[in-house]
Structure 1
Amino acid sequence: MRIAYFTHSLVSCWNHGNAHFLRGVLRELTRRGHAVMAYEPDGAWSLQNLLRDHGAVGLSAFHGAYPELDGTSYGAIEPVVDAVADADLVVVHEWNDPALVAALGTARKHGAPYTLLFHDPHHRAVSDPEAMRRYDLSGYDGVLAFGETLAAIYRDGGWGERTFVWHEAADTRLFRPPPEAYEPRRAGLVWIGNWGDDERSAELERYLFRPADSVGLPLDVYGVRYPDAARETLARYGVRYHGWAPNAEAPDLFARYLATVHVPRRFYVERLPGIPTIRVFEALACGIPLVSAPWDDAEGLFSPGEDYLVAADEPAMEAHLRALANEPELRRSLAASGRATIEARHTCRHRADELLAIAAWLGGDAHEDRDAHEAPAAFEIYGAHEVPVAGYGPDAVDSPGTPEHAA
């Protein structure tokens, strides 16, 4: 198959945690012999920030880990739409210009032969519905939503059986336990995540900074968009802040520590339950014990208590961290169970299989019967509580409303 994926950026993971999943799936499709092209806009916000902070050397980890992949940048929309005219499958990430989304849909309605899918791996359907209403999806064949609660919003909006749950997953070709026995060298805690817009600052203190300090476990933090106030908080708790780390280097980072902690954003706790961020898949794939702040695995993706521990409150988090520091067998058990679950159900190989199956189904009777299943003219929200967020867009380089595609 000839497959085109329109992403915000494939080469940059700066504040773009979804890059891990996209890279893994596209690599898997490439290894299976499909002709895969990734397109990203000139001046992509994530790439601009990465180059500003680290220069071209910041891209070396991506190129070293994914030699099979490269992104093709584009400027004007019409030529790139023409460039994919002979594709069999086109997938468009939701962090794209509405004009591009509409142009591809228009080409599809005017006879482009490919199956066209909109991929939504974000919380803006509930956090910023006005931004989502800018997308004209009337020419699309289906929607890929990264969790059941998000998929339900699209179904209620008129997409029905053409809404597909397509969870994120781990690229286990890269995210895996270290090849040698690191256990004697592991020490302390690591947290990989971006600060963002203060939407979980209280939770980070409650479930990460204070418990680590109380238990006496050194804590290292990696991520971007930490304002001065956030760095002051880290310093107050003795946390070592390292700034951005390439996503491709995360497995090596995990291998140095006893455990990591998952602190989900409030949108994923209160509004989109059951959707884990990529950090859960990454940690379990790498065989590092994970403790999560309260999070409802509503879809039964994992086995809480076996694959990872859940802390109902701050004292419980302290107890879990103390146990992990003192019980090697507990660490080994969690690491083995979490890794086994990833291998059995949540690899990029599984998601590639799912994507190809979806494309095959839509390419059959459903594809031929488009008029009987006309899509909504634009994304609409029915029954969702609207919580508007400040401005959005790739041009808003330092805007507090910039969407977070990372844990």
Structure 2
Amino acid sequence: MVEFLKEQEVIPAQEKNELEQTVASIIQQVRNEGDIALKGFLKKFDKVEIDDLKVSEDDVLEAKKKLPATLIEDMAFSIERIRAFAEAQRRTLTEFEQEMIPGVHLGQKVIPIESVGAYVPGGRYPLLSSAQMAIIPAKVAGVSNIRVCTPPTKEGVIHPAVLYAAHQSGADEIFSLGGAQAIAALAYGTETVSPVNKITGPGNRFVTEAKRQVNGVVGIDLLAGPSEVLVLADKTAQAEYVASDLLAQSEHDIDAQGILVTTSRELGLEVIHEIEKQLQTLPTAKVARESWRRRGQVILAESLDEAISITNHLAAEHLHVQVEEAYSHLDKLTNYGSLFLGENASVVFADKVCGTNHILPTNAAAKYTGGVWVGTFLKVVTYQRIENEGVTQLAPHCVRQSNREGLIGHLRSANIRLTGKLDIEENI
């Protein structure tokens, strides 16, 4: 029987409705007023006035001058790790053509999306890795134009490390824009921002809601955010590790979620205590504490099988398995954005530098999709090449099926290739 040692608060429906209405209003204003609306929102939300929304080459060079050599070195390391993994993924997507039956040749092409908008969050912290995660796989895929939107700091400029990371990752255009208004600009276009075919990247609830509302006008990667982590642990787990892993995601946003599913009551209670202890010295405690208070959960299961069942049902963005012989449970775990096996496989390694992508499904979307990868930016499409021999095999079946369905236009299109006539005999 499942027991909650700590439960999350329920978000009122009214709060969700207000979010939808606010975002819809922002999108409509951007559609109606273009750049004027974007500059107005910069003044209203970011408290800055910017004349030129688009970043120049000189801006990038100035940003680089402000960065320490060690940061540039670390950035180069993580860019190479992310690129190498994306290139390995790209090699798994192949084109082919095969003669399926005599005269019928079917094939598959892998074509890059022409233009992509990458949203890079700003908010409380400069998320350098988000720029890399959204841009590098698109570049490896062969996207010809990558437009990046990221909010400015209170000084009215993009954080230099974020700007340089976006540039080094392969951005073609960078704009000082954040929030739902940036998503609207990428979807519908303005005088300065050209519209794209697909939008990718994580963000706060306003960004996520905006992506949901423009989906269909443009493609989106997924509705990613706020951050989630679920730690699956047994009595062998270390409470200090578990607590630090939960707080690492909680510090992102007050809407972020940390969940512990455990088979050990002792561990569960110890982790709750340890979180309070670590919060005392955590510089980001103001956000992390509120996130843990509102959305944190500790769930006690009677057995590991039950714990795995709960885990698969919750389908968290990050799933960190800290149980004995964690790797042996790989095939039992089916719903997650990204999986971390063993206590050493900290989520933060993937968040930053190891190479896998950290733009992942949240809100149980991992039940039907994975995260961003190089395939996010590729279209796998089919083609057909049919010879006369193929027509003789396909057309009779197609003619009879079309006749039964009453689709005579279909029938004629097939029959004229088989017999040279539009219509068929009455007794077919």
TM-score of the aligned structures, taking structure 2 as reference length = 0.27
Greater helix percent: which structure? 2
Name the structure where strand makes up a greater proportion of residues. 2
Question: Of the two, which has the highest radius of gyration?
Answer: 2
Calculate the TM-score normalised by the size of structure 1: 0.29
